[in-house]
Structure formats: C-alpha cells, structure tokens
Structure 1
Amino acid sequence: MDPARRAELISRLGTTVAIDGPAGSGKSTVSRRVAEQLGIGYLDTGAMYRSLTWFALDRGVDLEDRRAVAALADELPLRMDSHPRDAHVWVGQREVTGEIRQPRIALGIPHVSTNLDVRHWMARDQRRRMMEARATGSGMVAEGRDITTVVCPDADVRVLLVADAEARLRRRTLELFGDDTPEHVEQVRAQVEERDRADSTVSEFLEPAPGVHVIDSSTLGIDEVVQAVIDLVDADLLRRAETDA
C-alpha cells in the first residue's frame, strides 16, 4: 500500500497490532520495525515487567512474596514513551531504561511474570495503553506472550511469531553478546529454557488462538517478517475502510 494512503487510513481508523512469541523469535525487533514503518507507537510489555521487578527490588520486597509484589503494582509510578527506536522508561522521577536490563533483573523476572495477580494488572494497563493510542487516531504495536489472547484478543491484527529452537537461541545470544560463539550460546540456553518453562505455566504462547496469524521466522530475514506483518495490517485497514464507507 502507498505509505500516504496507509497513514490516512490509520489516522482515520486507528490500528492495534498484537504480536506474541517465545524468547528469541524476533518479536521485539519485528514489533519495533513494524511500529516505525506504520508511524505508530511501540509497547514494550517486557519493560513493564522489568520495571516492576526493579521497583520491588528497590523497595526491598521479596519477589517470591506474590501478594506483596502484586500490591506493589498498584503503587508503581511507571512512565514510558512509545518511540519504537528510542523508548525510555521512568519509575517516578528516575529513568531506569538501562537499569532494567541488568542481569539481576533478568534473574528476578520469572518470579514476577508468573504472578497471576501481576499478570492481571499488567493486562489491564497494557490494553488501556493500546486502546488509548488507537482512539487518538494512531495506534500501537504490542509484543509479549499473551497479547493476542489475554491483553488484546480484539486487536486489529494478531500474530504469533515462531521459530525453531536453535534459531531462537542464536538470535537471543547475538542480542545479548553480539556474537553466537558456542560458549555464549550455552550460557544463554539455560536462561531461554527457564524463561519459556516459567511462562508456559501461565500462558499458552506457542499455540495460536483462532484468528491469529502464524509467521515462522526460522528461515526468514527480519525484513521479510516485517513485510509479512505490514501486509496483514494493510489488508485489515482496507477491509475496515470498505466497511466504514
């Protein structure tokens, strides 16, 4: 679709794009690129869980105390911008964009991300952000584990991005270390497997729900995956434009 035509339709109709997938499937990179090309916001749901983890550790709250962590979510003074290339995160007046990427946060996330009360709080807040962006004549791309099924099952476009295990592991290693040497791959393998194991207890993120488009990125380049998602968005915009006419 011509970019000008796409921009006009988005400004008139708004759009929400939900992308789910396991660690290393490429969903973060793809989501940012899609948001950038569409000229809409990007919601890093992982950063939200990381921010709550940081907040709990900063307050001295035991991450295994599920009730205390869930209660802390209501106090979380989280502020995020939605720029797909240069997003920043604040907790109160403190910018934590870099701090939430520290290893101690990664180690603590499984305790927070499997807390069902926290997940319910996150789902409400994530959906609010997506719907507000859509209602203002723009939109948002959100990625995570259960965006297509729990957070926004009525998103305009829903995608499950999958890849074979070795492709996922290689991508995550490159993301963390900048290379995929055997030593680094093995260091990352346990982290990826543990995260998938933990998340699978609270989210069916490897099976597509009805109406969710599956894209296997195992043998595709990022540009190809991004284009596949953009094509789905274009088709949805044109369909809704005809209905709205």
Structure 2
Amino acid sequence: MTTTPAPHPLVIAIDGPSGSGKSSVSRAVAASLKVGYLDTGAMYRALTWWCLDQDVDLADTTAVAQASRELPLELGTDPSAPSVSVDGTEVDAAIRETRISEAVSQVATNLDVRADMQQRQRALIAEIASATGGVVAEGRDITTVVAPDADVRVLLTASEEARLARRSKELHGDAGSASVEATRAQVVQRDARDSTVSQFTEAAEGVVTVDTSDLDFEQSVQAVLSVVAARGERV
C-alpha cells in the first residue's frame, strides 16, 4: 500500500516599501491559501512601544537590543484576525500610532535588534508553517535575509504617488495635498532610513516584482496569487 506524502509547508515571503499594500495583500493571500500570516514589521513596532513604555532610551542601542531579547511578545497569526500583545497587553492599535511610526526606524535600524528579530522571525515562520501548512511572511528583508529559501518571494511595490495617496487615505481619510504632505515623513523618509539596513526597493535575484501602482486591492491580491501559481505552488 502506498501513501501520498503530505505537501510540504508553503512559505511565501513578501517585501515592500510603506504604502505598497503588502500588509493587507499579504493577509488576503494567506486567507485565500488558508495558511498563517506573519507581520514582521509589527514586531519592530511592538518593541518600539515596549521601549517607550519602559522608558528605554531609543538612542541607547545596547539597552534597546537588550529590550529586544527580553521582549515578552505574543503574535496572533490568523490572517483574518492578526493580533499583537506585549506582556499581556494588546497593542494592535497602539503600535500604529503616529508616535510609534515616527520612532520605529530608530529601533529597526539597530543592527543588534535586527539580528535578534530575524532569528525570532525564522523560528516563527517555521512554527506557523508547520502548524497551518504554510505562512505568508511580510516585511522589508524577508525575501533576502530572513527567508531567502522561501517557496515564493515577492517584492510588492508601487509608485511614490500611489503609496502616499494610500497611506494618506488610511491615516487622514483623504488624499488631498495637505494630507499627502502630512504623511510623507511616515512613508518616504521612513523608507529612506530603513533602506540603510535593508534592501526592499529593488528585487533581488529570484524575487518577483509586483507593481500595484495601477491595481486595486483585489487585483493586487490576484497578482500575488498568480505568482504563487506560476511557481507551481497550490492556490
């Protein structure tokens, strides 16, 4: 009697700049494939929140790195209801506040923090994939550093104009000139700071670029699912 081997866990890595749609698209892709979801950016935001809550000076790189190693972080990885808790406190809304968005790059560019977080992320990817049959992990260096051997690797990008408009609508409810300018620091300037330690503006070898500038949400999701299908993975 022969048995059909179980399919190996499907690992999809998605990188991209702010406002490219990677978080919402990644969740939708994970839900469509019925696998888990990992928002690695939320991990850096959670650490930033924790440091501020614990009065850790973000300029003290050694102290921040120690806080990272001790961070009591819990992540809910269901794409339909992802969650972030630190030391038992739900921080899903708190880590999206402007004060966190303006400070997170100082934490995310700490190389010792990145090394610790990348190790955590690799472990989480393996754990989630094993538990759910797969995982969609998204961030800024997932395709190149954290999971370079992922089954599918995608760089989700969009024009600066499109990214600013999307984030302005998300934060301010409109994409007027005043809202766009108020959002610029959280998109363009943050990406510039983060790009000093992570490459997420150009696709590395073997990474497929999906430009969502002229795509709506559903089209963006389908574009990524098409990449998955083209790689011969289950859809």
TM-score (norm 1): 0.89
Using the TM superposition, give the Cα deviation of residue 135 of structure 1 relative to its aligned residue in structure 2, in angstroms. Answer: 2.7
Task: Specify whether residues 137 and 23 from structure 1 end up closer, same or farther in structure 2 by C-alpha distance, changes over 3 A only.
Answer: closer
Using the TM superposition, give the Cα deviation of residue 103 of structure 1 relative to its aligned residue in structure 2, in angstroms. Answer: 1.6
Task: Specify whether residues 85 and 135 from structure 1 end up closer, same or farther in structure 2 by C-alpha distance, changes over 3 A only.
Answer: closer
Aligned length: 230
The structure 1 residue matched to 2:221, chosen from 202, 212, 226, is 226
Mapped pair 1:65 → 2:24 = no
C-alpha contact 2:30 2:135 (8 A) present in aligned 1: yes
Structure 1 unaligned residues grouped into runs of 5+: 1-8, 240-245
Identical residues among aligned pairs (%): 53
1:187 is matched with which residue? 182
1:114 is matched with which residue? 109
Letter in 2 for 1:95: E
C-alpha contact 2:165 2:180 (8 A) present in aligned 1: yes
- Which aligned runs of 4 or more in structure 1 are off by greater than 6 angstroms? none
Letter in 1 for 2:138: E
Q: Distance in 2 between matches of 1:136 and 1:175?
A: 32
Task: Specify whether residues 137 and 56 from structure 1 end up closer, same or farther in structure 2 by C-alpha distance, changes over 3 A only.
Answer: closer
Structure 2 unaligned residues grouped into runs of 5+: none
Task: Indicate the RMSD between aligned Cα atoms, in angstroms.
Answer: 1.6
C-alpha contact 1:12 1:137 (8 A) present in aligned 2: no
| Structural mapping, 1:48-127, within 5 Å | 48-127=43-122
Using the TM superposition, give the Cα deviation of residue 235 of structure 1 relative to its aligned residue in structure 2, in angstroms. Answer: 3.6
Mapped pair 1:46 → 2:49 = no
Indicate the SS of the match to 1:208.
coil
TM-score (norm 2): 0.93
| Structural mapping, 1:144-183, within 5 Å | 144-183=139-178
Using the TM superposition, give the Cα deviation of residue 141 of structure 1 relative to its aligned residue in structure 2, in angstroms. Answer: 0.7
Richer in helix (by share) = 1
1:138-174 per-residue CA deviation (whole Å, 9 max, x = no partner) reads 1111111111001100011000011111011101111
Task: Specify whether residues 114 and 148 from structure 1 end up closer, same or farther in structure 2 by C-alpha distance, changes over 3 A only.
Answer: same
